[in-house]
Chain A
Amino acid sequence: MTRIRIQAVSKQFGPTLAVDKVDLEVSSGELFFLLGPSGCGKTTLLRMLAGFVQPDAGQIFFGEQQVTNLPARARDAGMVFQTYALWPHLTVTDNVAYGLKIRGLKRADIAGRVERALKLVRLEGLGTRKPNQLSGGQQQRVALARALVIEPRVFLLDEPLSNLDARLRDEMREEIRRLHKETGLTMVYVTHDQKEALTLADRLAVMHSGRIVQVGRPQEVYNLPVNRFVAGFLGDSNFFAGTVREIRDGDAVVETGLGPLSAARVNSGLAQGMKVYCSIRPHAFAIRPAADSVNAFDARIEQVTYLGEQLRIRAVAAGQALELASVPQLAGSLQAGENVTLGVPADQVIILPDTN
């Protein structure tokens, strides 16, 4: 159980600043996610934790130990690589036993621990195979077992599910959740898949251009994004540019292209006349709301797509395209070309600063 502290860490590759003065703390036993689009610096940050990349500035601590200048081999940070990096010339058992041999364990101990590790990832009986005789999911499990068996201080996962198909990905997601529960390890998990992050993370950090934009629990970050980038990256959202018209007892009214929108949640520091964005999630819209509802406006349905568990609707209101989600029961009653009234509860309108 090890806490990770990252203090003012920076890394530059040529002209690009890959990681820009990042401060971060991961509590012990936490399943922590680094989330961001490709090129945001999340993998570089993870590789700095593993010791493959030396930060230009800043410090990294595992627990109380400063590891910034420790070589990768001395860090005790088990890592699962995006491509699994299983050694093709070694069997599954030899792959998993590798770290234990380095640690000088007795042969019998190694055999026992390898067996337990393979059992933990449900690969009993496949120890004599070579990696290329395994399916993608099985290879993934070997990679997990290989990193787990050394009982690392921290566990690092670099987009571990990106090479798997959708069904396997769901399965392995549950597997990782279970492994985290059973081992209680401090895990740092890098991904660009917001669904993975939202479903698994204890806490997550959203990264953009080498910086951490927001850190928090999944619900906090999803429901209260700090800016347009986070709102757009975590789930879909509709954005409406506008100006704050008035603020009273925690409510705000923003003048937008759709007309005035009332928002129940107000960030401190909001002032009248400020340029802002209103963010509304697709499922926040009520279609044909009660007559007295707030934030009601007219829209024309452009397209209705049935997705099984939900309906996706494209609509246009005041010249702006909208993305809506709805329960599938409405499927029969909505036609493309139809004009409907839409409403948004005030607490579903999120005001974001216009930082750009």
Chain B
Amino acid sequence: MRWRTKPIELLLLAFFAVFLLYPLAYVFPGSASDEDYAVRLLSFGERPPEVLMILSKARPEAPQVEKVSLPLTVGTFPPARKRNAEELALKLTGAGARADVVRERHWTAFYFQQALGFQIQKREYFPYFQPVPNAPALWECLRNSLLLAAVTTVATTLLCLPLAYWFTRYQFRGRGLLSTLLLVPLIVPPFVGAIGLERLLNRFGTLNLWLMNLGVIQAPIDWLSGGGFIGIVIMQVLHLFPILYLNLAAALANVDTTLEDAARNLGAGEWRVFRTITFPLLLPGYFAGASLVFVWAFTDLGTPLVFNQNKVIPVQIYDQVSDPQRTNSVAYALVVVTLVITAVLFYGARWLVSRQSFIGGGKGAVAASIPNAGRGRTALIYATVLGLTFLTLLPNIGVALTAIAERWTFSPLPESYTSAHLREVWSNRISSLSIQNSIYYSACSTFLDLVLGVTLAWLVIRRPSWLTGFLDGLAMLPLALPGLVLAFGYLTCYSNLNLGGWASVLDPSRNPAPLLIVAYTVRRLPYLTRSAQAGLQQVPPVLEEAAENLGASRWRVLRTITLPLIAANLVAGVILTFAFALLEVSDSLMLAREEKYFPITRAILGLLMRPDDGDNIACALALFAMALLACSLLVANLALGKKLGELFRA
């Protein structure tokens, strides 16, 4: 580690400062401070008695006119309500006085104490005291969220380990096709899935009606009740497992199989080989994937909302933030707690990865011959993958059916079909515009991500210093950051600042497009830079040195040696980035306020609100979005001229 500062590093730092640190810093004080509003009376005007009357109503101990010195500050209650103060000021002005609203911020530990503090209670027996949380409900939320994330991560791991093992260690017919199917959950955003799931599982949804028609049940069952912990886990696992699978498969493909052979040669059974050799070598890749899954599950807002589970941290934050009356609240404390927990996990995982990074002995060492999976194992793989795909698609079948349904009430399947809704996607102003917008936003943000991500990854792996480490930490921060919070930060920060000159393009109330693009970029940068880093870690530096030795410039080395070698990782990263950006929910909902700037997700929500056929058009648009995602995956597939599954094997 040396002190070394390069212009490029400073540029990155500036980017993060403007688009990550400052908006966050703008949110942060809310967790430890309170805003009070008061009315300042500047003059009594022509009708002092009237003003005094109003004052005495507002404050019973109102002073006599003779004793008042102007300006007079009149407090309102509760002090944190802006509207109370505004109303009072309005009344005073109406009585002819001059008055304005003043805002005061004072620092307090109150919200932390209220949200997550303890009180010590005496007890009769050892150890004679007991900590009692001030807000047991919030502690319950925290426990729920942690448990949810942990169970989801474990379940995802149990699902992905055999999948990754099968797909990297065995050859079977249709391997490429099946590994493509495994990526389907990526093109199926949970936000869209939620609509379909609701359609299938609500009280008079397909499942209930079917079961009732079959006579299995008499009255509809409320599938989404009771917080649906298991339901949330299943939804999250189904959505998140490809992320872990991709990481594990890439890591597994890079484990030299002779290392496993060496253990077998010394008498180790398969389970022992896995436990003592393969898994420890997989750990970096596993942690990269598992930490993503954990944090995602921990900060997931959409799925718990669909299942009506509000006793989790993200929903608590969402509920409080979306209430415009409360500018300060416990939500900020919860955001900070979320950030701390996720940051600890992240930096823990990173530390483990850095401790265990092995630069492999070159790719030639990986044995070329992959054994055939037997008939039985092939059948098992097919059953698992097809079953998973079906489960993932199920909610979206609901979406698809809604999109083409003409009449669908109180019957398991639509009564008649029409293509009118699909056609309306084109003619409807909101939906057709939103498609253009989304593609434009996503493409711009993906390109930005690619440039930033590769640069950053290269700096982190090849030119490590405290500064690049810090930059990397910043780039990873959005993973720990619920999109809602970042978007809220952007919105408040860049709306309230009076930006002049060219900087005013950032003002979301004028045109949210630049901020939307930046929000997508910042939120998805971790995936791209992670992919690039994982690739770079496995490219021995000597390959780059060889090119430099032959006289190639830095840029040329990057272009002709490094990038081609990590192309598979980059394509994986770009696809993830583009796909996620296209169906980004929270940023889009927060930032896009005008129809002409709506991205697809915001348009879907807007259409859902419309009466009559709003549902159907929304679903048609969702269907279209999924098709768009599928196309982008396909294009990447064709461009690389390889099977998509092979893409992710370095």
Note all chain B residues with C-beta closer than 8 A to A85.
Answer: 256, 258-259, 261-262
A84 CB → nearest B CB, Å:
8
Q: Does B416 contact A (CB under 8 A)?
A: no
A41 within 8 A of partner (CB)? no
- The contact of B281 among A88, A103, A132, by CB within 8 Å, is A88
Chain B residues whose CB sits within 8 angstroms of the CB of A147 once the complex forms:
265-266
**A99 lies within 8 A of B267 (CB):** yes
- Does A146 lie at the interface of the complex (its beta carbon under 8 Å from any beta carbon of B)? yes
Contacts of B262 in A (CB 8 A): 79, 81, 85-87, 146
Partner of B265, one of A13, A77, A83, A132: A77
Smallest beta-carbon distance A157→chain B, Å: 12
Is B429 on the interface with A (CB-CB < 8 A)?
no
A86 to B358, CA, bound (A): 12
Check if A150 is an interface residue, CB within 8 A of chain B.
yes
Q: Is A160 an interface residue (CB 8 A)?
A: no
B344 at interface, CB cutoff 8 A: no
CA A146 to CA B259, docked complex, whole Å: 13
B269 interface residue (CB < 8 Å to A): yes
Assembled-state Cα–Cα distance A73/B258 (Å) = 14
Q: Does A98 contact B (CB under 8 A)?
A: yes
Given the known interface contacts A85-B258, A87-B277, the answer about A98 and B263 at a Cβ–Cβ threshold of 8 Å is yes
- What 0/1 readout, one digit per residue, does chain A (55-93) give for beta carbons within 8 Å of chain B? 000000000000000011111111101110111110000
Checking B261, B281, B365 against A89 with a beta-carbon cut-off of 8 angstroms, the contacting residue is B281
In the complex, whether A50 has a CB less than 8 A from a CB of chain B is yes
Q: Which residues of B contact A330 (CB under 8 A)?
A: none
B103 touches A (CB below 8 Å):
no
Name the one of B268, B276, B361 contacting A73, with C-beta atoms under 8 angstroms: B268
Pairwise interchain contact B264-A83, C-beta atoms closer than 8 A: no
Decide yes or no whether A52 CB sits under 8 A from chain B. Answer: yes
When chains A and B are docked, how far (Å) is the Cα of A103 from the Cα of B261?
Answer: 17
Q: Name the interface residues of A128-178: CB closer than 8 Å to any CB of B.
A: 132, 146-147, 150
A83-B258, A89-B281 known; A73 and B358 CB under 8 Å?
Answer: no
Of listed A78, A89, A103, A146, residue having the most chain B CB within 10 A:
A89
CB-defined interface of B432-460 with A at 8 Å, one 1/0 digit per residue? Answer: 00000000000000000000000000000
Nearest chain A CB to B349's CB is how many angstroms away?
Answer: 17
Q: Which residue on chain B has the smallest CB distance to residue A47? A: B261
Interface residues of B in 140-182 (CB under 8 A from A): none
* CB–CB A78/B268 < 8 A: no
How long is the Cα–Cα vector from A110 to B80 in the complex, in angstroms? 71
A102, CB-defined interface residue at 8 Å: yes
B365–A78 CB distance below 8 A: no
Assign chain A's interface to a size class. Answer: 20 to 34
Contact A72 B365 (CB under 8 A): no
**Pick from A76, A88, A98: contact of B268, CB under 8 Å:** A98
B168 CB to closest chain A CB, in angstroms?
17
Q: Are B261 and A72 in contact (CB under 8 A)?
A: yes
B259 nearest in chain A by CB position: A85
Residues of A within 8 A of B263 (CB): 87, 98
CB proximity to A under 8 Å, residues B266-300: 266-269, 272, 276-277, 280-281, 283
B548 to chain A, nearest CB (A): 23
Asked if A72 contacts B281 (CB within 8 A), the reply is: no
Q: Once bound together, how far apart are the Cα atoms of A173 and B324, in whole Å?
A: 80
**Chain A residues positioned under 8 Å from B266 (CB to CB):** 73, 78, 98-99, 102, 146-147, 150
Restricting to B364-397, which residues have a CB under 8 Å from any CB of A?
A: 365, 369
Q: Does B492 contact A (CB under 8 A)?
A: no
Q: Does B308 contact A (CB under 8 A)?
A: no
Give the chain A neighbours of B281 by CB distance below 8 A. Answer: 87-89
Taking a contact as CB atoms under 8 Å apart, the answer to whether B267 and A74 are in contact is yes
Least CB distance, A106 to chain B, in whole angstroms? 17
Query: A78, B358: Cβ atoms under 8 Å?
Result: no
Q: Least Cβ distance of A324 to chain B in Å?
A: 38
Chain B residues with CB under 8 A of A87: 259, 262-263, 277, 280-281
Judge whether A52 and B267 touch: CB under 8 Å: no
Closest A residue to B356 using CB positions: A89
- Could you tell me if B358 and A89 are in contact, using CB atoms closer than 8 angstroms? yes
Determine the chain A residues whose CB is within 8 A of the CB of B358 once the complex forms: 88-89, 132
CB-CB under 8 A for A98 and B256, given A83-B361, A85-B262, A150-B266: no
* A-contact 0/1 string along B231-266, CB 8 Å cutoff: 000000000000000000000000010110111111
Question: Cβ of A52: which chain B residues have Cβ within 8 Å of it?
Answer: 261, 264-265
Q: How far is the CA of A73 from the CA of B262 in the complex (A)?
A: 9
**Chain B contacts for A51, CB-based, 8 A:** 264-265
Contacts of B267 in A (CB 8 A): 73-74, 76, 99, 102-103, 150
Tell me the nearest residue of chain A to B359, going by C-beta: A132
Instruction: Chain A residues near B283: list those with CB within 8 A.
Output: 89
Interface centre among A50, A52, A85 (most CB of B within 10 A): A85
- CB atoms of B265 and A72 under 8 A apart: yes
Specify the chain A residue showing the minimal Cβ separation from B266.
A99
Query: How far does the alpha carbon of A74 sit from the alpha carbon of B270 in the complex, in Å?
Result: 12
Smallest CB separation, B353 vs chain A (Å): 13
In the complex, what distance in Å separates the CA atom of A1 from the CA atom of B510? 86
Kindly report which residue of chain A lies nearest to residue B283, judged by CB atoms: A89
A89 to B277, CA, bound (A): 8
Quote the shortest CB–CB distance from A76 to chain B (angstroms): 7
Cα separation A82 to B369 with both chains bound (whole Å): 16
Nearest CB in chain B to that of A76: its residue = B267
Residues of the A chain whose Cβ atoms lie less than 8 Å from the Cβ of B268: 73, 98, 102
The reply to whether A89 and B265 form a contact with Cβ atoms under 8 Å apart is: no
Q: Which B residues lie within 8 Å of A98 (CB)?
A: 263, 266, 268, 276
Residues from chain B with Cβ under 8 Å of A150 in the complex: 266-267
CA–CA, A50 and B259, complex, Å: 14
Q: Chain B: which residue is nearest A74 at the CB level?
A: B267
Q: How far is the CB of A307 from chain B (nearest CB, A)?
A: 30
CB distance from B35 to the nearest CB of A (A): 53
Report the separation of the CA atoms of residues A132 and B277 in the bound assembly, to the nearest whole angstrom. Answer: 16
Chain B residue numbers with a CB within 8 Å of A83 are 256, 258, 361, 365
**A74–B265 CA distance with the chains assembled, in angstroms:** 8
A79 to B, closest residue via Cβ: B265
Cα–Cα, bound, A120→B207 (Å): 71
Name the one of A72, A89, A146 contacting B264, with C-beta atoms under 8 angstroms. Answer: A72
Q: Is the CB of B261 within 8 A of A81?
A: yes
Q: CA–CA, A114 to B268, complex, Å?
A: 18
Identity of the chain A residue whose Cβ is nearest the Cβ of B358 in the assembled complex: A88
Cβ of A81: which chain B residues have Cβ within 8 Å of it?
Answer: 258, 261-262
A353 to B29 Cα, complex, angstroms: 93
Bound CA span A77–B261, Å:
12
Which residues of the partner chain B approach A132 to less than 8 Å between Cβ atoms? 358
B172 CB to nearest chain A CB (Å): 16
- What residues of A have a CB within 8 angstroms of the CB of B356 in the complex? 89
Q: What are the residues of chain B within 8 A of A78 when measuring CB–CB? A: 265-266
Residue pair A13, B264 in contact (C-beta under 8 Å): no
Knowing that A79-B261, A79-B262, A85-B258 touch, tell me 6 more A-B residue pairs with CB under 8 angstroms. A51-B264, A52-B265, A73-B268, A88-B281, A98-B263, A102-B266
Residue contacts A-B, CB under 8 angstroms, 26 given:
A13-B369, A51-B265, A52-B261, A52-B264, A72-B264, A73-B267, A73-B269, A74-B267, A75-B265, A79-B261, A81-B258, A83-B361, A85-B261, A85-B262, A87-B262, A87-B263, A87-B277, A87-B280, A88-B358, A89-B281, A89-B283, A98-B263, A98-B276, A99-B266, A147-B266, A150-B266
Q: List residues of B whose CB falls within 8 A of some A CB.
A: 256, 258-259, 261-269, 272, 276-277, 280-281, 283, 356, 358, 361, 365, 369
Instruction: Rank and list the top 10 A-B pairs by shortest CB-CB distance, nearest first.
Output: A99-B266, A85-B262, A72-B264, A85-B258, A88-B358, A79-B265, A89-B280, A102-B267, A73-B267, A73-B264
